[in-house]
Structure 1
Amino acid sequence: MAFTTEDRTTVTELIALHGHLVDNGQLDRLDEVFAADVVYDLSAFGRDPLHGVGALRDAALALGEGNPVGHHVTNIVLSGPTADRVSALSKGIGVYADGTCGSVVYEDTIVRGPAGWRISHRQVRPRRRPLTAD
């Protein structure tokens, strides 16, 4: 089985669904985006990786009002697709209640399993200004 145009659309929509679910407080549906044993790597923020969908839900609940009110994903680039695995690189923009914004880079490994395509590993890196030659 090859990675099809339909797979590409499904994977892209899967990445976008994360923000809709989180922003609507539908944390009980995170298993529609992430594999049950997902590793959500926050080490670039000085935090330990989260393991499993339950840990993602618990972390979002613990952050409470510190969560962005809007999670937006853009610039999705898929690479190395096989029938059951693809890598994705995308940019995330978080909008906070006070109007400030933050930007991250998501590096995802997405696998096809019995429930369909799911993110099995996500590394989140803060987006910082590039170095300049001043």
Structure 2
Amino acid sequence: MTKVLSPADLAEIHRTLALFAHVFDNGDVAGLDLVFTEDVVVEIGVGPARAFRGIAEFAEYTRGKSAATPDHHTLNTTVEVDEHGQVQARSRYIGINPAGRLTGGEFLDILRRTPAGWRIAYRLSLPRAPRQAGAGVVKAEFPLPVRLSEVVAP
């Protein structure tokens, strides 16, 4: 199935991805619904190290995040439609913690069009830096080889 996204769709998707940093970093729990679907699954790290199922669970994480949590900057986003017709985005992020140290990684997202607009239904956040000396870069296949129905919250 080939699907071409309109310029308006692409602009809205990029806006949604950019809004994450503003909403999350400012602790704007009410604004999470501008970024995520109600049944979102957010996995952080390999394995994943942490997983949140549903916007309510991610909201609790947002409320309780440490003051040392880095501010996020989302960049270098690519958007494509996978073989199943799912819209996926791959972005790099830079995080700046309160001490001025940098972190970085990738956001791998599957998005869904909702009545309110494009929202992230699945996010895999993979840190790339800092990493221990000699450690390889965490790599992920893109587009993600999963269907949205396999990963969203029940």
1:1-134 correspondence to structure 2 within 5 Å: 3-44=5-46, 47-68=49-70, 70-80=71-81, 85-128=86-129
Q: Partner amino acid for 1:100?
A: R
- Identical amino acids, percent of aligned pairs: 29
Q: 1:58 to 1:72 in 2, by over 3 A?
A: same
**Structure 1, gaps ≥5 residues long:** none
- TM-score, length basis structure 1: 0.85
CA distance in 2, matches of 1:17, 1:85: 21
CA distance in 1, matches of 2:24, 2:48: 22
Q: Partner amino acid for 1:13?
A: R
How much has 1:43 moved relative to structure 2? Answer: 4.2
- TM-score, length basis structure 2: 0.75
Tell which deviates more after alignment, 97-106 or 23-32: 23-32
How much has 1:61 moved relative to structure 2? Answer: 2.2
Q: Partner amino acid for 1:66?
A: A
Structure with a larger share of its residues in helix? 1
Query: Any idea what the Cα deviations from partners look like across 1:55-96, whole Å, max 9, x if unmatched?
Result: 11211222221311x2100000001169x8410000011110
- Size of the aligned set, in residue pairs, is 129
- Across the aligned residues of Structure 1 and Structure 2, the Cα RMSD in angstroms comes to 2.2
